[in-house]
Amino acid sequence: MTVPVCTLIAGPNGAGKTTFALSFLPEVAGCRNFVNADMIAAGLSPLSPEREWLTASRLFLREIGQYIAAREDFAFETTLSGRTYLRLVRRLLADGWRVELYYLWLPSIEMSIERVAERVSHGGHDIPREAIVRRYPRSIFNLLNHYAPLCSATVCLDNSRENPEVIFVQDAEGRKIENSNLFKQLMSVKP
C-alpha cells in the first residue's frame, strides 16, 4: 500500500505560494489535489472574495477532510504564521502519512509588502500591511521551531529571485544547510 502524502506550501504573504504550487504540484510532486482557501473564496465571489472568507474556510477544511478520509494525496498553502496545522500534521503522521513542507522565503517584510501590492495591481487579493508585518516573523519562527522538526521532509527555498535557491533541507536525520549566508539571514529574523 502506498503512503499518502500531504504537501504544505508555506511562506510569508506575497512569497509566491500559489504560483509555485500550480506548477510544482502537478509537474514535480505528481499531486493533483490542491486546496486553497483564497481560490475557493474567489470562486464564490470573484469581485469581492473577502466577503466569502468564512464560507471558503469551511469548504477548505471539508475538502481537506475528504482527502484524508480517502487517503488521497493533497496539498494546501499556509503562511505558517500560526500553529493551527500542527495538530493536523501530527494526526497525519500518526496515521501513516508522509508530510512534506516546501517553504518559500522572502528576505524582508518590505519585499512581502511589495509582492502583495504587485498582486493587487494585477487583480489579486490584498492583505492588510499590519497583518503582513505581524505574520512575517511568526512564519519563520514557526517554520524553524515547530513545523520543520515535525514534518517528514522540509525544503526551504529563497523565492525572491527568478530561480528559487535552496536554503536548507530537513528530515528525520537533521537539517542540512545548502546556503549558509541565506540561512544566517533567515535565522536573524526575530518573532
Q: Enumerate residues 6+ apart whose C-beta is below 8 A from 160.
A: 105, 106, 107, 111
- pLDDT value of residue 156: 98
- pLDDT value of residue 189: 86
For cell 537533521, name the residue.
174
Task: Count Cβ atoms below 10 Å from residue 105 Cβ, excluding itself.
Answer: 26
What angle separates helix 53-70 from helix 37-44, to the nearest 10 degrees?
130
* Cell numbers representing residue 91 in the block: 494526526
Task: Determine, yes or no, domain membership for 107.
Answer: yes
Task: Determine, yes or no, domain membership for 73.
Answer: no
* Cell numbers representing residue 14 in the block: 506575497
Tell me the residue range of the domain where 172 lies: 5-31+81-187
Closest C-alpha among 98, 101, 95 to residue 73: 98
The separation between CA 142 and the C-alpha centre of its own chain, rounded to angstroms, equals 12
Task: Determine, yes or no, domain membership for 165.
Answer: yes
**CA distances for 105 relative to 30, 94, 135, 174, angstroms:** 23, 28, 13, 20
Task: Determine, yes or no, domain membership for 124.
Answer: yes
Task: Determine, yes or no, domain membership for 127.
Answer: yes
- pLDDT value of residue 124: 67
Closest C-alpha among 148, 159, 154, 179 to residue 112: 159
Would you give per-residue pLDDT tens digits along the chain (191 residues)?
A: 799 999 999 999 889 999 999 999 999 999 999 998 878 877 877 767 677 778 888 999 999 999 999 999 999 999 999 899 999 999 999 999 999 999 999 999 898 888 878 877 776 676 778 887 888 999 999 999 999 999 999 999 999 998 999 999 999 999 999 999 999 999 998 87
pTM score: 0.92
Task: Determine, yes or no, domain membership for 64.
Answer: no
Task: Determine, yes or no, domain membership for 108.
Answer: yes
Task: Determine, yes or no, domain membership for 65.
Answer: no
- pLDDT value of residue 14: 84
- pLDDT value of residue 10: 97
| Total tally of structural domains belonging to the chain | 1
Any idea what the CATH number is for the domain that residue 163 is in?
3.40.50
- pLDDT value of residue 54: 83
- pLDDT value of residue 142: 96
- pLDDT value of residue 76: 97
Query: What's the rounded Cα separation, in Å, for the pair 17 and 41?
Result: 16
Under 8 Å between Cβ of 170 and 183: no
Tell me, what DSSP letter sits at residue 160?
S
- pLDDT value of residue 47: 63
